[in-house]
Amino acid sequence: MRPLEYVAAAPKAELHLHFQGAIRPVTLLELARRHRVALPAEDLDGLRAWFQFRDFAHFVEVYAILRSCLVEPEDFELVTYELGSELAAQHVRYAEVTFTPGPEVYRGPRDTFFGGLTRGRELVRREFGVDLRWIFDIPRRTVGLYPDLPLADFITDTAIDGRNDGVVALGLAGTELGYPPEPFEPWFDRARAAGLHSAPHAGETAGPASVWGAIHALGAERLGHGVRAIEDPDLVAYLVEHRIALEVCPTSNVSLGVYPSLEEHPLPRLHAAGARVTINTDTPAIFGTTLNSEAALLATAFDLSPPAIDDILLNAFEASFLPPEERQALVAWARAELARERSLTA
């Protein structure tokens, strides 16, 4: 079996996958028509052109429109079901999916989105054998508010209430520049006290100071992106020592201009330094990528050895927020499956 075939067949977990950014373009068009949401394009070619980002602010704008197309419980159930189908086709057994409620969501009943997410999750587990868990994200800034206190309260309360329905962590997303993580400490303190994990975005569009802030103020156990930690050797050493995993999304980083090319991406250097690197898609429908194609970069663009590729694939299982016994069982299964797939290449 060739390296790319091996990577495609290998068992996978994904830890950095945005729900709204995983909506299939054809589904987005249908939802927009159903709910009379005006899109800048009315066909697939037009959507692809619209998704060619100018800058991070444009990305946030696109994301807000995606959110506005999700209105009814059935919308959330449909997108969850289609996401599970996509993941199963790529041999993904487990995924932690980030869901970011916008201001439009908390004005309505909680069940509008959470009921749909839950029913979709149950269908995905039953039909595809894929286990989905949720990370509820607080947006750093909404409509000029920083922080948006009512929205942050709503998301944190909903995340805590959803612990028995698959919610495993509280996250923090949105533009880092000018919006550091420290003001969100009270909400993360409350979530962590209730048993949720901490998984904020940091070290994507801002540098090491953002990562240090996420660690010290928010108790980050994993970092969304975190790649710009490479700019501070002391920070990299800290991440290695404390085993704080990085949810690395190479195509996203290049598409959004964090790095000019894959050749300049720090993933190989972070892995060589001992950081717990994982490979992820971020917003696959927007960037036109898949977890298989991101994992393939490990063998192609990054020219990593087979043992290094296996390490990175296993990192995602080991850094998951499952309860310890479930995580240990899943890691054991993944190791056995990787060994079986690797034996086919011998």
> Which residues are CB-neighbours of 209 under 8 A, at least 6 positions away?
180
- Measured CA to CA, the distance from residue 244 to residue 275 in angstroms comes to 8
> What is residue 56's predicted lDDT score, i.e. its pLDDT?
65
204 part of the active site: yes
- What average pLDDT is seen over the chain? 92
Q: Is the pLDDT of residue 94 over 80?
A: yes
pLDDT band at 344 (very low <50, low <70, confident <90, very high): confident
> Which residues are CB-neighbours of 143 under 8 A, at least 6 positions away?
103
CA atoms within 13 A on the CB side of 87: 32
* List 86, 204, 247, 341, catalytic entry: 204
> What is residue 36's predicted lDDT score, i.e. its pLDDT?
87
- Measured CA to CA, the distance from residue 220 to residue 159 in angstroms comes to 16
- Measured CA to CA, the distance from residue 225 to residue 205 in angstroms comes to 9
> Which residues are CB-neighbours of 116 under 8 A, at least 6 positions away?
72, 73, 74, 75, 76, 77, 78, 80
Question: What does the block give as tokens for 83?
Answer: 């996401």
> What is residue 83's predicted lDDT score, i.e. its pLDDT?
97
**pTM of the shown model:** 0.93
> What is residue 105's predicted lDDT score, i.e. its pLDDT?
65
Cβ atoms within 10 Å, residue 134: 26
Question: What does the block give as tokens for 152?
Answer: 């942050």
> What is residue 104's predicted lDDT score, i.e. its pLDDT?
59
262-319: per-residue pLDDT in tens? 999 999 999 999 999 999 999 998 888 999 999 999 999 999 999 999 999 999 999 9
Contact 208, 231 (CB under 8 A): yes
> What is residue 319's predicted lDDT score, i.e. its pLDDT?
98
